[in-house]
Amino acid sequence: MSNKSPCRVCGGTVQEFFNFGRQPLSDAFLPQDADFEQEFFFRLAVGLCADCTMVQLMEEVPRDRMFHETYPYFSSGSAFMRDHFEDLAKRLLATELTAEDPFIVELGCNDGVMLKALAESGVRHLGVEPSGSVADLAAAKGIRVRKSFFEDSTAKEILAVDGPADVIYAANTLCHIPYMESVLAGVRALLKPTGVFVFEDPYLGDIVERTSFDQIYDEHFFFFTARSVQEMAARNGLELVDVERIPVHGGEVRYTLAPASQRNPSGAVAALLAEEKENKLAEIATLHRFGENVLKIRDDLTSLLRKLRTDGKTVVGYGATAKSATVANLCGIGPDLVSFVCDTTPVKQGKLTPGTHIPVNPPSAFSDSYPDYALLFAWNHAEEIMAKEAAFRDAGGKWILYVPEVRVV
């Protein structure tokens, strides 16, 4: 298999810098009686484009395999994230949605947690969501939803019906989409000349600094920086005019794009570009060091779990996240090391984790008989989870974390 591939943004050469090996679809939880021989796997590797500096997966997984009728992630599942999206809705109402009859389009609206606040304020809106089950939940909340993927043709159809948008927004969605040229062509077609495209996604700078390697899985195709987004925008008639660091999902950046020459970029753009240059974030040597740190975490985590098993300690997982698939499969963590994973998502309960086939149980299984240790796969919600599970700590339980290093707390 070649360690080079064409860039999905500029057509340049992408040089591979780390290979996670054979990985399953991160959200493809299996029934107990599944035929494991039929489970889908792919080669998960990541590389850097020498021309536009975009970090991206080396191979693309077909979108219909990942986002479909039974997609099991719900944005409103975390109280912290609900507050996050409601705060954003209030900000947009005060800044970008102030014209007469404003219109907002959200790409990948999920269960409508952000649009609900805007709908209740009477804002004209449309959510574009390809995953049927979560789109239905949004519609049940009174959200206007179109069940489809967003691309150039979709945007033109929306424009013909609804007119141009003041705001196009996406959260943890744009990084999922390899066919970026079509998406940004759609954004240009649908957006007013005075409008903005706002999106937030995991930030490569945080991934590298924290070695949060589990942010790399099938659904995350791109790993953005201010520099790579600036390059991507310029190639598609847009301009990066603002950036904001946000403390969600282990570290993200909220990017604001506008039609070229329509707005003056904020000082935050220049500041983040300078920080990335100082940190050598676009250099392959930096990313090779990241790979070395990943391997150290792998070795430290597996050594710890094997020692706990030898010592007769009980270990369960907490949070059957998409990210956990990368960790479990890279480290070879199966039910011999982690008895089960507890998760609040009903459609995951009673199933097995992708690839490593650890049983997924409801939260009640965690407190029925507390384990000695809990491996916190949902580490990005650590503060919220640990506060909720204070009784586990009081009972003598300990948490295992692996970002930015393996430790017991």
Tokens, residue 317? 């997982």
pLDDT in tens, 98-121: 999 999 999 999 889 899 999 999
Average pLDDT of the residues in 168-183 = 94
Helix axis angle for 322-331 and 284-310, nearest 10°, is 80
Give the pLDDT band of residue 68 (cuts 50, 70, 90): very low
pLDDT for 352-375, tens place per residue? 999 999 999 999 999 999 999 999
Which structure tokens are listed for 250?
């282990």
**Structure confidence at residue 133 (pLDDT):** 81
Q: Does residue 93 have a pLDDT over 70?
A: yes
SS3 per residue for the chain: CCCEEECCCCCCEEEEEEEEEEEECCCCCECCCCCHHHCCEEEEEEEEECCCCCEEECCCCCHHHHCCCCCCCCHHHCHHHHHHHHHHHHHHHHHCCCCCCCEEEEECCCCCHHHHHHHHCCCEEEEECCCHHHHHHHHHCCCCEECCCCCHHHHHHHHHHHCCEEEEEEECCHHHCCCHHHHHHHHHHHEEEEEEEEEEEEEHHHHHHHCCHHHCCCCCCEEECHHHHHHHHHCCCEEEEEEEEECCCCCEEEEEEEECCCCCCCHHHHHHHHHHHHCCCCCHHHHHHHHHHHHHHHHHHHHHHHHHHHCCCCEEEECCCHHHHHHHHHHCCCCCCCCCEECCCCCCCCCECCCCCCEEECCHHHHHCCCCEEEECCHHHHHHHHHHCHHHHHCCCEEEECCCCCEEC
pTM assigned to the model: 0.93
In angstroms, the CA 117 to CA 75 distance is 14
User: Which two structure tokens, joined as six digits, stand for 338?
Assistant: 């982690």
Could you tell me the two tokens for 274? 């300078």
Whose CA is closest to 46, among 35, 37, 59? 59
Among 15-24, 59-68, 275-284, name the one with the lowest average pLDDT.
59-68
CB 79 within 8 A of CB 148: no
CATH of domain 305-408: 3.40.50.720
pLDDT of residue 343: 96
pLDDT at 71: 52
The Cβ-side half-sphere exposure at 280, using a 13 Å CA radius, reads 8
Give the CA radius of gyration of the chain. Answer: 21
Please determine, for residue 248, whether its predicted confidence score (pLDDT) is greater than 90. Answer: no
Cα–Cα distance measured from residue 403 to residue 409, given in angstroms and rounded to the nearest whole number: 12
Tell me the average pLDDT across 157-179: 96
**From CA 316, how far away is CA 298, in angstroms rounded?**
18
**Residue reference for tokens 């479909």:** 68
Residue 270 pLDDT grade (very low, low, confident, very high; cuts 50, 70, 90): very high
For tokens 């030898």, the residue is 310
**Mean pLDDT throughout 63-73?**
59
- pLDDT for 69 equals 54
Q: What is the mean pLDDT of residues 210-236?
A: 97
Query: Is the pLDDT assigned to residue 1 strictly greater than 50?
Result: no
What pLDDT is stored for residue 82 in this prediction? 86
Which residues are 41's β-sheet partners? 24
More confident residue, 157 or 76: 157
Domain residues of the chain, as ranges? 305-408
pLDDT tier at 77, thresholds 50, 70, 90: low
d(CA 169, CA 7): 24
Mean pLDDT computed over every residue of the chain: 94
